[in-house]
Structure 1
Amino acid sequence: MSQPHSTVDRLLADESGRRPRADARRNLERLVEAARTAVAEIGVGVSAHEIARRAGVGVGTFYRRIPSLEMLLETVLDDLLDEIANVADQALEDPDPWSGLCVFAAAYVRLRAESCGVSEALGGACGDALAQRLEDLRGRIRRLVERAQSSGVMRADIAWQDIPFLFAAAATGEHTLGIQASDQQWERNLNVILDGLRPIRPGIPPGAPPA
């Protein structure tokens, strides 16, 4: 995960251009970090009061430092989606198409599993605010899939549009049917999914089975 300073700098860039006091910047950094954790745990419906409470400041300080709740959430989510895009770009440069796809898949599913807000954003919960980000990500996923298929390391009968749904399915909740997920549940799920995409003998899922 990236540090919050990039988000802070982007929010400061929207202000008048005056250099903020050190205490004002610290408050903004606390608010950004609180927003990241709140978005991960609660989702995009988190309130300004909840973010301010987690940051240890008043809601008045929140609105003095942040232009709007919507801008803060969009900026935080934009940075998180940027992390995914960077991983996809690195994966596309990997000389091994299958290895690149697997590295991207692990980062993508991990972030979905760790952040409720990212999962909601990828599902379109933010409307048009992140539409360009999602379009760019679709393009990267398509190139990763087509490159793997062209190399013969991935089944050719799978549409690239299937992949986001399959990867989303790997990021499960902690319980189902009274069964407790293992500590590596999303990794086990993803391993099975990736094995199903290959035209070769499957491997062994990592970690212990669910309790």
Structure 2
Amino acid sequence: MTAVEKLLGETARADAQRNVRRLVAAAREAVAEVGVDVTAHEIARRAGVGIGTFYRRLPSREALLQAVVEDTVYEIVELAREALRDPDPWHGFCTFAAEFVQLRAMSCGINEALGTDCALSLDAPLEQLREQIRLLVERCQQSGAMRDDVPWQDVPFVLTSVMTGDRTIGLTAADDQWRRNLRVVLAGLRAQQLHTSE
């Protein structure tokens, strides 16, 4: 059962569950656009409900944000597990890398939660995410697809580094700048013998 499902499970009436679902959807949107410091008033406004409804249906703003962000991190864990099921280790890793970076690039709150010490308790999902990334990297290295001189712990930092600001040295980033940067990073991670054989 996901953290959001637990929130829904605490509410029996259908109309109350509809309000909780609206608040969850609004919280996801607000976390992406504003970050994890979004207020309960802003979430309620986006959901089209009053602040009283917010607090009648949910234990707290923190509980809602915890559920939304925790579930999103677990979704990233599942993306990594899917990548591990890909018969081609390098293809699986590249697919995960693109999804991981895109989510961080598109969600201010997830980027904050994964990149800083935020007030949310994410130890369990982050531990699982670290383990899945380690398995992805080691699988690629054992297959000869990825350089073996790169510790798995470096890979999350390298992937995160492809996200840029809107401008640098007077240049404006392209809309897909992170994708361009990711191509360069993946080329750098790939084992050299594969470059020369293509």
Whichever residue aligns with residue 66 of structure 2, its letter is: E
Does structure 1 residue 62 correspond to structure 2 residue 62?
A: no
CA RMSD after TM alignment: 1.7
Tell me, which stretches of 5 or more residues in structure 1 are unaligned? 1-5, 203-211
Q: Share of identical aligned residues, percent?
A: 58
Whichever residue aligns with residue 74 of structure 1, its letter is: Q
Aligned to 2:12: 19
Matches for 1:120-159 after TM superposition, within 5 Å: 120-127=112-119, 129-159=121-151
How many equivalent residue pairs?
A: 193
* Greater RCO (CA < 8 Å, at least 6 residues apart): 2
Matches for 1:1-211 after TM superposition, within 5 Å: 8-13=4-9, 15=10, 19-20=12-13, 22-127=14-119, 129-198=121-190, 199=192, 200-201=194-195
TM-score, length basis structure 1? 0.86
Where 1:133 maps in the other structure, the secondary structure is: helix
Q: Does structure 2 retain, via aligned residues, the 8 Å contact 1:7–1:32?
A: no
Tell me, which stretches of 5 or more residues in structure 2 are unaligned? none
Distance 1:124 1:74 in 2: 15
Distance 1:70 1:125 in 2: 15
The alpha carbon displacement at 1:112 in A equals 0.3
Where 1:129 maps in the other structure, the secondary structure is: coil
Distance 1:144 1:50 in 2: 38
Residues 152-200 of structure 1: CA deviation (Å, up to 9, x unaligned):
1111111111100011111223333342221211111111000001124
Distance change in 2, residues 1:161/1:76 (3 Å): same
Q: Does structure 1 retain, via aligned residues, the 8 Å contact 2:4–2:68?
A: no
Distance 2:103 2:118 in 1: 17
Whichever residue aligns with residue 52 of structure 2, its letter is: G
Distance 2:62 2:146 in 1: 40
Whichever residue aligns with residue 49 of structure 1, its letter is: H
Distance 2:26 2:140 in 1: 39
Where 1:74 maps in the other structure, the secondary structure is: helix
TM-score, length basis structure 2? 0.91
Distance 2:116 2:122 in 1: 8
